[in-house]
Structure 1
């Protein structure tokens, strides 16, 4: 079960997608109907990593990989995301938890 919010890490891209809730995942075609690559991942607020597989109905279905991301890795991911968005002082960006890091992704624009 996904713990929302979550981020989508697109393979080969430093920008992240931010998904606030299950409802947003199910109703926003930019997320649920997007054609993901095999290396794209959804990472939830407790760090669980999901692969994104396309179902027969054309809707993406997150599948738990059994892996978790570390706080250091999600922090690096958020720094790269902030840098891609041309935010300054990204090296000072730090978090106390994975949930805080994922939640911050929604604030970065």
Structure 2
């Protein structure tokens, strides 16, 4: 479960940035191609926050669908996995690999 390692890194970054302030909410952008399972991420986040300034914080996840530019047919838009709707794998991925801390709410 790589979500635990990701959650630990997120909590570390958020707590470092928060300083002495309590963290109430964290918002992440998670791309469809990252293979992050939302339920596992939520569970892992709760574990990773125990004993930190983010304990009890709410995790919000914004899903980013996969998109790309096909070199075969020219399609620019949604892709499925790493394939263009035409079936080609010759695709430049333009979205879906994101894993970003977008915001955090502190007091």
**TM-score, with structure 1 as normaliser:** 0.29
RCO higher in structure (CA 8 A, sep ≥6):
2
Bigger strand share: 2
Q: Which has the larger radius of gyration?
A: 2
TM-score normalized with structure 2 length: 0.29
